[in-house]
Structures are given as structure tokens and as C-alpha cells.
């Protein structure tokens, strides 16, 4: 399964530029995933391609970032390290065939609503004023948005992107005061239930250091299927 492509398509940068087989992605600086170089083929001119990427992000006031996955050209990581790029955010791709179950209290919509965005951003909003850009990224492809709500307030949220016979799970987040209640599991199963039987597998990404989330996902049928990390100038 081409996880590099799936993640790229499920979390789309709203500005993309092709260069020598690479994709330079920009989305207001919100998330490395949408603001990094997707390098999945060897360029004709490696030095020239890296310089072009650095110029692209420099024009936007951002440090150059590369997403380095299993499809990255051989030697790219070593060359970036030689140039002083730091390895950050090692990430696991987990895949499986989870079961679905729609429970009371879960709301599922085809677009993110303000409360959904606010809850996700309260947990994952590491970029200050980037909520508008984050919403634009989310709405860039068809997806389902689920939230477990109490008194109209989303306590846990998630996003599912149908990609052929594969379902991508993103934006899983639970407010700190609502954790250890099984709400993330409830949201995950609601997203799978909404997708129905039209897919053969699902995948998600989780940081390598988040052991708690990994344990949850394993209990729902996911196992490690790939890895990637970033190189930041």
C-alpha cells in the first residue's frame, strides 16, 4: 500500500508545486504534513531540487521541511543530514480492519462544524492562529467528521477519508478532561461504521512516542505497516 500517496491525498496542501518529480506543499504553515516536500522519486538533479525546495519555502517565510517515507529516494536522508537538516517527529503508519459501531451521543457530518474544529484545535492546535488554514486543509477532500458530544460540546473527535477501498483515519483528539472514558474508541468505531462495508482496510498515523494511542489502535485491529519522519532545516 502506498502510504506516502494516501497521506498526501488525505491531508491536501492547498498550494502544490511539482519540481523534478517532487511535490512542494504549502498550507499556511499549518502542520508539517501539508507544508513539506513529498519526495518519492529520485530527481535528475538532487542538489538543484533541494535548492529549489529551500527557495520555495524561503519565499513563504518557512524553514524547508522534507517528509521522508518508505518511498523517499535512496540517500536523501543522508544528504539532508549532511546539510544540517534535523530528524524530527518519527511517525508510525498503522493499518488494519477495525470494526464499526455507531453509539448514542456521536454526531457524524460530511463537513467539519465549528465545535468539531475547536475541539480538535484545542488538542492539536500547535500553530497559534492557524485554525482557518486547518479547516481549509480538512475540507480539501471528501471526508466524514465524527464527535462524541455532551450538552452539544464535542469531547472527542475524528476524521475519516474514503480513498477507494481504503479508509484514512485522521484528527483523532480528546479533550484532556474527557480522557480515559473510551471516547476515542467510540469515535473511531463511529467513523468505521459510517464508511460501511465499502472498504477493505483502514490506516492511520500516530507519533512513534505515543504509546497510549498505539495501544488503543492495536486493540482495534491496527498494526504497524510503515514509518516516516521529517527532516527540518
Instruction: Please tell me the predicted confidence (pLDDT) of residue 127.
Output: 59
Instruction: Please tell me the predicted confidence (pLDDT) of residue 133.
Output: 84
Residue 25's DSSP bridge partners are: 16
Instruction: Please tell me the predicted confidence (pLDDT) of residue 126.
Output: 63
Residue 190's nearest CA partner among 144, 224, 137, 135 is 144
Where are the CATH 3.40.630.30 domain residues in the chain?
Answer: 98-199
Reported in sequence order, the residue ranges of 77-200 that DSSP labels E, i.e. its strands, are 86-96, 106-109, 144-150, 153-163, 166-174
Instruction: Please tell me the predicted confidence (pLDDT) of residue 128.
Output: 60
Q: Which three cell numbers stand for residue 78?
A: 543522508
Instruction: Please tell me the predicted confidence (pLDDT) of residue 225.
Output: 97
Measured distance CA(122)–CA(211) in Å, rounded? 21
Averages of pLDDT over runs of 10 residues in the chain (233 residues) are 94 95 94 94 95 97 95 94 97 96 94 94 74 86 97 96 96 95 97 89 96 96 96 95
Tell me the per-residue pLDDT of 109-148, one tens digit each, with 9 for 90 and over.
999 999 999 999 999 766 566 788 888 888 899 999 999 9
**55 φ/ψ sector (left φ>0, alpha ψ -120 to 50, else beta):** alpha
Which residue is it, cell 465549528? 114
Measured distance CA(140)–CA(135) in Å, rounded? 9
Residue 17 CB coordination number (10 Å):
13
Measured distance CA(18)–CA(2) in Å, rounded? 19
| Cβ-contact 227, 70 below 8 angstroms | yes
Instruction: Please tell me the predicted confidence (pLDDT) of residue 150.
Output: 96
Residue 109's DSSP bridge partners are: 145
DSSP 42-59: --S-HHHHHHHHHHHHHT
CATH code of domain 98-199: 3.40.630.30
Amino acid at each position: 500500500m502506498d502510504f506516502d500517496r494516501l497521506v498526501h491525498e488525505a491531508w491536501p496542501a492547498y498550494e502544490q508545486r511539482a519540481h523534478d518529480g517532487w511535490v512542494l506543499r504549502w498550507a499556511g504553515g499549518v502542520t508539517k504534513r501539508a507544508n513539506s516536500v513529498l519526495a518519492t522519486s529520485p530527481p535528475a538533479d538532487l542538489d538543484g531540487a533541494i535548492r529549489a525546495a529551500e527557495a520555495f519555502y524561503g519565499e513563504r517565510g518557512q524553514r524547508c521541511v522534507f517528509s521522508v517515507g518508505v518511498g523517499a529516494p535512496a540517500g536523501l536522508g543522508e544528504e539532508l543530514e549532511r546539510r544540517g537538516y534535523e530528524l524530527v517527529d518519527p511517525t508510525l503508519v498503522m493499518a488494519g480492519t477495525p470494526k464499526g459501531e455507531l453509539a448514542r451521543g456521536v454526531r457524524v457530518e460530511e463537513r467539519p462544524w465549528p465545535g468539531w474544529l475547536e475541539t480538535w484545535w484545542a488538542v492539536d492546535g500547535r500553530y497559534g492562529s492557524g485554525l482557518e488554514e486547518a479547516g481549509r486543509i480538512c475540507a480539501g477532500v471528501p471526508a466524514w467528521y465524527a464527535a462524541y458530544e455532551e450538552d452539544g460540546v464535542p469531547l472527542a473527535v475524528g476524521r475519516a477519508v474514503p480513498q477507494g477501498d481504503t479508509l484514512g483515519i485522521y484528527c483523532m483528539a480528546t479533550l484532556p478532561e474527557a480522557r480515559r472514558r473510551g471516547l476515542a474508541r467510540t469515535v473511531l468505531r463511529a467513523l468505521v461504521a459510517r464508511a460501511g462495508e465499502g472498504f477493505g482496510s483502514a490506516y492511520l498515523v500516530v507519533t512513534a512516542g505515543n504509546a497510549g494511542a498505539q495501544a488503543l489502535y492495536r486493540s482495534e485491529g491496527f498494526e504497524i505497516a510503515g514509518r516516516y519522519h521529517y527532516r527540518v532545516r
